[in-house]
Amino acid sequence: MTARTRIVVNPAAGERHVQLSPSRARVTVFGAGRGARELQVESRGDKRLTVVRGRMAITCNGRLSVLEAGEAITIAPGVEHAWWSTRAGELCVEIDAGPEAFALPHRAARRGRRSGVASGARRLTVRLAS
C-alpha cells in the first residue's frame, strides 16, 4: 500500500503544493514573481531547495542568487530567506526540510511556537550544488 500524497492547489496564488513525505514537498508556481516572497526563517534544521523546472531567485540574509533547473541551495537554520520565480511560466521547486517547515502558521502558534524571525545570532550558510 502506498502512502497518501497531499495536494493543495491555490489558483488565486498561482501555486500547487504536493506534500511528498513529512520532510519533502514539491511546490509549483505559475508566473513571474510568484513563490515564497515573504521573508522566513527556519528555527531547526537545514532547508534544501532544488529547482526542478524554471528559474528561481532567492535572497538569503539580503544576498540575491539566481538558480536554474538542476541547481540547489541549502539554507542553514536562522537565515532569513525568500524565493520566487524570475520568469513567466512555471517554476517547480523541491523542498527538503523538517516537518515543522510545512506546518501552517496557525498550527505552529497553537503549539506555542513563535513565528517570524528566530532569535540569536544569524549565520549564512549557502551551498550551491549543480
Domain layout of the chain by residue ranges: 6-111+124-129
- Average confidence (pLDDT) over 101-113: 47
Residue 82 and residue 58 in contact, taking contact as beta carbons nearer than 8 Å: yes
Amino acid at 30: F
Q: Is the pLDDT of residue 113 over 60?
A: no
Kindly report the average pLDDT of the chain as a whole number: 77
Residue 121 — pLDDT band, cuts 50, 70, 90?
very low
- Average confidence (pLDDT) over 44-51: 91
User: For position 50, what pLDDT does the model report?
Assistant: 95
- Which residues fall within 8 angstroms of residue 78, CB to CB, at 6 or more apart? 41, 42, 43, 118, 120, 121, 122, 123
User: For position 115, what pLDDT does the model report?
Assistant: 37
Domain 6-111+124-129 classification at class level: mainly beta
Q: Is the pLDDT of residue 2 over 80?
A: no
User: For position 114, what pLDDT does the model report?
Assistant: 39
Higher pLDDT, 5 or 18: 18
For 69-94, write each residue's pLDDT tens digit. Answer: 999 999 999 999 999 999 988 999 99
